[in-house]
Chains A and B, each alone.
Chain A
Amino acid sequence: MNLDQALRDAAEPVPARVEQAPAQALLDRIVRTPMDSAPAPAVTRLPRRAAVTVFAAVAAVAVALTVTLSNVGAGPAYASWTPDPSPLPAADRADLADRCVEQVGGTLPPAAGRRVVGELRGHYAYANVVTPTWTATCFRDRGGKVLYGGNMMAPVSRAALGGRGVEMQAWGQLRTDEGYCRLMAGHVGSEVVGVDLTVRNAAGGPARIVRTTMADGYFLAWYPERAAEANTNRTFLTLRLADGGTVDGLSARDLHDAPVLD
């Protein structure tokens, strides 16, 4: 007998459950929800070798495109997007959060003690719903369609973040009718008064600066980003501190893997 078979034989068997009532109820519940809101895959990181290959393949094209693009990864899509956000009115914010969380159905615990941070960029609204046990992002496209971005469980407490800590609560691409965009949101320590993003593309073109919306220690922003750029763009956070100092060079991707606790 080989090792694999020995392991399989040693494993504890579990019964089939697909025909049981909870599974059937779940299936029926899911197929009643609309299919058309389409959160994109939380694009996973390519291994370094693959990323280099992608870089080589797109570099020549990207060099040419850099000359003509004025926004991060944007063509005509997301044309009204702006690097600086505008406030999202409170009623609009609450409505966006309600419609978004509603789409998730019963898959998240009740949103007790929730707060919503939101913003406008051009014709688009974006919000992060934060509760003590989970966070969820919501996006409203230019046509008014609300898309669910994703969620994160067990956010770090404000106390754990201390003065200069950062937790990335959302970091993924979303597909809308206009193509892909990058959604991000997070939570910072008490000494941080602002967060800016620096987005560098693989072609080495000029870096783009995106200013995030900040409220009560929570920040969020989004920007157009093609699917192919998910693994080639490099995004860094700069924290602006209450004492006038800054902390820069924080990789968004690394922060998503593990927060910085102060």
Chain B
Amino acid sequence: MSRSTADPEAAFRELFRATYDDLLCFVERRISPAVADDVVAEVFLTAWRRFDDVPVARDEARAWLFTVAHNTLRNRHRSESRQRGLALRILREPDPAVGAEADGVAARVDLVRAWQHLSPDDQQVLTLTVFEGLTGPQAAKVLSISRPAFSLRLLRARRRLRHHLYQETVTTADTPRPGAIAEIGTTA
């Protein structure tokens, strides 16, 4: 779908306002906050210059920006990431509707610890789905892999997270709590 060129600046400003926080969060999960602003600036500059290429649908435009950001980050980190994968931070976009503390502090600690045991690749696929809310096809496109490959990676990442979560739960409790694991993992 092509964009109306009647007032591209107004359309870009609207896109910027709608996606800035999500994009900044996307970048901050993957790079030091000290340089996240630079990456975001580069991505939006690219979007402005290639505005005709940016999908009109907001959801698709957001995924397009994430793809550009992913490639930009990949270039920036290329040399160092060969030696070590970059762990992803668990950050949540501003959203007043979210924010439950239902599971309490202990469950959060278990999950965070389990998360830290995942490889950066596992963290990546889970982050794209869970925190960034991309569909399977959109996430596959960000990573430049096929949809079935993404689905498989996601399945395995969830399995490994559950496994680590189980380990954490067993380690931090006097007795195993398999019920808690089953509850958390039911809809993976």
Contacts and interface: CB of A to CB of B under 8 A. Distances in A.
- Pair from one complex: yes
A219 B36 CA distance: 30
B158 interface: yes
A154 interface: yes
B184 A3 contact: yes
Interface stretch (B11-19, B55-63, B169-177): B11-19
A33 B91 contact: no
B76 interface: yes
A9 B108 contact: yes
Given A10-B111, A11-B91, A11-B131, A30 B44 contact: yes
Interface string A40-81: 111011110110000000000000000000000000000000
Contact of B48 (A18, A30, A151, A257): A30
Given A3-B188, A31-B9, A39-B49, A12 B17 contact: no
Contacts of A30: 12, 16, 41, 44-45, 48
Interface string A127-171: 000000000000000000000001111111000000000000000
Contacts of A15: 94
A258 B82 contact: yes
B131 A107 contact: no
A41 B126 CA distance: 25
A143 B104 CA distance: 64
Contacts, number: 157
A13 B100 CA distance: 11
Nearest to A105: B45
A4 interface: yes
A5 B111 CA distance: 11
A150 B78 CA distance: 15
B140 to A, nearest CB: 8
A228 interface: no
Interface string B101-129: 11100011001100100000000001001
B39 to A, nearest CB: 9
Contacts of A47: 144-146, 149
Nearest to B90: A11
B79 A156 contact: yes
A223 B130 CA distance: 41
Q: Which of A11, A27, A33, A257 has the most CB of B within 10 A?
A: A11
Interface residues of A, number: 54
B146 A6 contact: no
A7 B20 CA distance: 22
Given A17-B21, A23-B20, A35-B48, A9 B90 contact: no
Interface in A11-26: 11-18, 22-23, 26
Contact of A6 (B13, B37, B94, B184): B184
A209 B132 CA distance: 44
Given A41-B50, A152-B75, A35 B8 contact: yes
A94 B100 CA distance: 57
Interface string B26-49: 001000000001101110111011
A9 B115 CA distance: 13
B184 A10 contact: no
A4 B158 CA distance: 9
Given A12-B91, A14-B92, A33 B45 contact: yes
12 contacts: A2-B185, A9-B98, A10-B111, A14-B91, A14-B94, A17-B21, A31-B13, A45-B144, A106-B41, A107-B42, A154-B78, A258-B78
Interface of B: 8-9, 12-13, 16-17, 20-21, 24-25, 28, 37-38, 40-42, 44-46, 48-51, 53, 67-68, 71, 75-80, 82, 89-94, 98-103, 107-108, 111-112, 115, 126, 129-131, 144-146, 149, 158, 161-162, 183-188
Interface of A: 1-18, 22-23, 26-27, 30-31, 33-42, 44-47, 49-50, 104-107, 150-156, 257-259
Given A9-B101, A18-B21, A45-B144, 14 more contacts: A3-B158, A4-B130, A6-B184, A7-B126, A9-B99, A10-B108, A11-B92, A14-B92, A33-B45, A33-B49, A35-B48, A38-B50, A44-B67, A106-B41
